[in-house]
């Protein structure tokens, strides 16, 4: 599947062969066509079987009709699914279906089943674990206040304090744990801002040792750091430690994705400069670069990425570009706290592009994915989703 | 990796439209058997891509996307209640239509026809006639008979055509 993007090259090649009068046409993708289909195809082309129709179409005139409807475009907010590069299948989605013919577009077969939908949109919530091991639940409506921090249930802010520890043994640590279906925002005592995604745990000092490296630990999950500059902290660098790697910076914005049970850790630099240390190896990233650490092989690769796709989660938007269905479902399962099964009849590696707001209901998203015609159906039962 | 991913302007979108729209309408016709409807659906796809500010990494990606989008649009239409009410196709027919081979071969037929047509239209009249017949598997002798010219003149016309179409034909040697 997914050879639609080769139409032009194949067509040019066939056209060139035919014009040159070369008998055999190498179609490059013989697996797409069997011999019979290939023969029929060449016959159709040679006979000009589509020529009459083609000549009946006046592109210039129809452009004038269309042009009137083209408004200066705006950023898509609806879900729109399609494949990206060479090997990806391109699928169309919700957008078109909704735009013109919605009420009539309902597909009658393979009707999705919603048995007892208990899948809820994620919210701001976290568990704060204090130095003594006691736990505080932070969620909407819960106000929490201590000597060092305060929370309104949607974020937690640590006070910048003059009462800083003088050595590492005096550091008091807190841990913030974001469950599946949660997200949270925090400001550390040095002014560094951190957005925490679902299923994430971060351990950090309540106050940093003055003039010494500021170190936090991303135990697992995904977090976006907007680090307050070293120049404001007597030159103290900022470090994010993780079991697999250490990231050191002077003051910058970056995203780290290090989920449990995943084969890769991704560090994406938005602004400034970071140094990522993996074992003995280190890599310096510049903005728009993403370091991919493969945990199995310890291989490091650097790719240019679209920052928006990587960090939109913190703005309340999921933006998938060329992401496989399997990976999209992983992201969704964390935010909607659901179990997802993709049946074998569906190619879970198929890639989509889509954008939607994180406050969309799971059903809205499923309708969009379903309308690509790529999946046959789906079933929601309690907190489980099956893609069929 | 993302070079060339620029947003469309009215001008560039018009160019794209002129390059792709006729073929896409013919492609849609294969599913819908109704040229006016085909035009409408293809225009809706163009409208949607514009509104959603979709960008593409390459021309091939772009071409592929539009074909796939039109295909899905057509299939959705055929599956819609509105269409089923008219009962022009049985559902089993629809399954035949919804195969990768069907989509791609039809897309290639349409696209190749357009490439050839555009190429031939740049040729002088006589050379164009010669090439048309040549594509239909006429030998040089048969072409000479058909057009009442000598075999050498046929060969000359072919040479003119090949020179003129060098860019297109060089496609074979690039790869």
CA A85 to each of CA A59, B65, B82: distance values in angstroms, whole numbers, following the listed order: 28, 10, 34
In this structure, are residues B48 and A95 in contact, taking their beta carbons and an 8 Å threshold? yes
Across the interface, whether the CB atoms of A53 and B26 are under 8 A apart is answered: yes
> Closest residue of B to A72, CA-based?
B51
Across the interface, whether the CB atoms of B14 and A63 are under 8 A apart is answered: yes
Long-range contacts, B57-60 (Cβ 8 Å, 24+): B57/A84, B57/A85, B57/B1, B57/B2, B57/B4, B57/B5, B58/A5, B58/B4, B59/A8, B60/A5, B60/A6, B60/A7, B60/A8, B60/A9
- Chain A residue numbers with beta carbons less than 8 Å from the beta carbon of B65 are 4-5, 82, 90
Instruction: Measure the CA–CA gap between B107 and B94, rounded to whole angstroms.
Output: 17
Mean of the per-residue pLDDT values for chain A? 82
- Chain A residue numbers with beta carbons less than 8 Å from the beta carbon of B10 are 67, 70
> Closest residue of A to B57, CA-based?
A85
Across the interface, whether the CB atoms of A8 and B63 are under 8 A apart is answered: yes
Alpha helices in A214-324 (DSSP H): 307-311
Confidence of residue A115 (pLDDT cuts 50, 70, 90): confident
Instruction: Measure the CA–CA gap between A342 and B32, rounded to whole angstroms.
Output: 33
Compute the average pLDDT of residues B122-131.
90
> Closest residue of A to B91, CA-based?
A109
Instruction: Measure the CA–CA gap between A35 and A38, rounded to whole angstroms.
Output: 5
B103 at interface of A, judged by CB pairs closer than 8 A: yes
- Chain A residue numbers with beta carbons less than 8 Å from the beta carbon of B63 are 5, 7-8
Per-window interface: B 25-84 vs A, CB < 8 A: 25-26, 29, 35, 39, 43-48, 50-54, 57-61, 63-65, 67-69, 72-73, 75-77, 79-82, 84
Instruction: Please name the residues in contact with B32: beta carbons below 8 A apart, sequence gap of 6 or more.
Output: B38, B41, B74, B77, B78
Give residue A123's Cα distance to chain centre: 18
In this structure, are residues A135 and A127 in contact, taking their beta carbons and an 8 Å threshold? yes
pLDDT in tens, A266-286: 999 999 999 999 988 889 999
B140 at interface of A, judged by CB pairs closer than 8 A: no
Closest CB from B63, B110, B131 relative to A50: B110
Across the interface, whether the CB atoms of A66 and B47 are under 8 A apart is answered: yes
Confidence of residue A37 (pLDDT cuts 50, 70, 90): confident
Across the interface, whether the CB atoms of A33 and B101 are under 8 A apart is answered: yes
Across the interface, whether the CB atoms of A13 and B172 are under 8 A apart is answered: yes
- Per-residue confidence (pLDDT) for residue B83, from 0 to 100: 58
Rg of chain A over Cα atoms, rounded to whole angstroms, equals 26
- Per-residue confidence (pLDDT) for residue A31, from 0 to 100: 60
B18 at interface of A, judged by CB pairs closer than 8 A: yes
- Chain A residue numbers with beta carbons less than 8 Å from the beta carbon of B135 are 18-19, 21, 45-46
**Minimal CA–CA distance to A373: which of A90, A85, A84, A77?**
A90
Encode burial over B99-113: b for 16+ CB neighbours within 10 A, e otherwise. eeeebbbbbbbbbbb
Across the interface, whether the CB atoms of B51 and A74 are under 8 A apart is answered: yes
Q: What whole-number percentage of chain A has pLDDT above 90?
A: 41
Closest CB from B63, B69, B76 relative to A5: B63
pLDDT in tens, B162-172: 888 876 665 43
- Chain A residue numbers with beta carbons less than 8 Å from the beta carbon of B139 are none
Instruction: Measure the CA–CA gap between B47 and A62, rounded to whole angstroms.
Output: 12
Compute the average pLDDT of residues A27-53.
76
ipTM of the complex, rounded to two decimals: 0.86
In this structure, are residues A96 and B45 in contact, taking their beta carbons and an 8 Å threshold? yes
Compute the average pLDDT of residues A56-85.
64
Compute the average pLDDT of residues A15-25.
75
Q: Which residues pair with A220 in a beta bridge?
A: A201
Please report the sign of the dihedral spanned by the C-alpha atoms of residue A147, residue A152, residue A156, residue A160: negative
Across the interface, whether the CB atoms of A19 and B23 are under 8 A apart is answered: no
Across the interface, whether the CB atoms of B84 and A304 are under 8 A apart is answered: no
- Per-residue confidence (pLDDT) for residue A158, from 0 to 100: 93
Alpha helices in chain A (DSSP H): 7-20, 35-47, 51-55, 59-67, 94-99, 307-311, 325-335, 362-370
Encode burial over A214-233: b for 16+ CB neighbours within 10 A, e otherwise. bbbbbbbbbbbbbbbbbeeb
Interface test with A, best of B3, B38, B48 (most A CBs within 10 A): B48
pLDDT in tens, A315-371: 888 888 778 889 999 999 999 999 999 998 888 887 777 777 888 888 888 887 877
> Closest residue of A to B99, CA-based?
A1
Q: What is the pTM of this model?
A: 0.53
* A-to-B residue pairs, Cβ atoms closer than 8 angstroms: 234
């Amino acid at each position: 599947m997914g050879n639609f993007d080769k139409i032009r090259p194949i067509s040019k090649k066939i056209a060139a062969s035919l014009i040159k009068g070369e008998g055999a046409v190498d179609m490059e993708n013989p697996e797409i066509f069997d011999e019979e289909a290939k023969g029929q195809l060449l016959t159709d082309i040679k006979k000009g079987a589509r020529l009459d129709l083609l000549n009946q179409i006046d592109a210039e005139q129809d452009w004038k009709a269309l042009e009137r409807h083209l408004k200066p475009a705006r950023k898509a907010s609806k879900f729109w699914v399609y494949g990206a590069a060479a090997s990806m299948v391109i699928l169309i989605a919700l957008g078109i279906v909704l735009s013109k013919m919605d009420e009539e577009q309902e597909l009658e077969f393979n009707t999705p089943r919603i048995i007892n939908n208990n899948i809820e949109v994620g919210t701001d919530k976290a568990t704060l674990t204090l130095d003594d091991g006691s736990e505080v639940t932070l969620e909407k409506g819960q106000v929490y206040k201590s000597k060092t921090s305060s929370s309104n249930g949607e974020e937690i802010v640590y006070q910048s304090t003059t009462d800083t520890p003088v050595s590492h043994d005096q550091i008091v640590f807190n841990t913030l744990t974001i469950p599946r279906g949660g997200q949270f925002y925090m400001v550390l005592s040095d002014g560094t801002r951190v957005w925490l995604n679902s299923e994430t745990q971060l351990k950090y000092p309540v106050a940093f040792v003055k003039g010494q490296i500021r170190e936090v630990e991303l135990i697992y999950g995904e977090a976006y750091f907007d680090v307050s500059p070293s120049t404001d902290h007597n030159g103290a660098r900022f470090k994010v430690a993780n079991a697999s790697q250490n990231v050191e910076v002077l003051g910058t914005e970056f995203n780290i994705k290090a989920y449990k049970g995943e084969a890769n850790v991704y560090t994406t630099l938005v602004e400034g400069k970071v140094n990522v240390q993996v074992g003995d190896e280190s890599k310096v990233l510049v903005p728009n670069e993403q370091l991919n650490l493969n945990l199995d092989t310890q291989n490091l690769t650097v790719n240019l990425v679209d920052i928006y796709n990587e960090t939109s989660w913190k703005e309340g938007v999921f933006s998938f570009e060329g992401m496989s269905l399997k990976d999209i479902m992983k992201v969704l399962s964390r935010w909607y706290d659901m179990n997802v099964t993709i049946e074998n009849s569906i190619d879970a590696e198929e890639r989509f592009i889509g954008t939607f707001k994180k406050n969309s209901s799971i059903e809205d998203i499923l309708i969009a994915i379903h309308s690509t015609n790529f999946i046959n159906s789906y079933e929601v039962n309690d907190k489980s989703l099956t893609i069929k | 990796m993302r070079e060339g991913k620029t947003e469309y302007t009215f001008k560039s979108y018009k160019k794209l439209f002129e390059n792709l729209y006729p073929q896409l309408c013919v492609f849609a016709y294969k599913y819908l058997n109704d040229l006016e409807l085909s035009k409408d659906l293809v225009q809706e796809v163009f409208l949607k891509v514009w509104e959603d500010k979709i960008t593409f990494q390459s021309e091939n990606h772009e071409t592929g996307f539009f074909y796939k989008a039109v295909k899905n649009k057509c299939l959705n239409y055929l599956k819609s209640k509105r269409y089923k009410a008219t009962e022009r196709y049985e559902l089993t027919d629809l399954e035949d239509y919804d195969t990768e081979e069907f989509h791609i071969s039809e897309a290639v037929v349409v696209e190749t026809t357009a490439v050839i047509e555009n190429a031939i239209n740049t040729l002088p009249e006589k050379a164009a006639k010669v090439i048309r017949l040549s594509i239909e598997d006429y030998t040089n002798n048969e072409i000479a008979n058909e057009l009442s010219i000598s075999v050498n003149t046929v060969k000359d016309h072919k040479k003119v055509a090949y020179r003129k179409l060098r860019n297109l034909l060089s496609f074979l040697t690039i790869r």
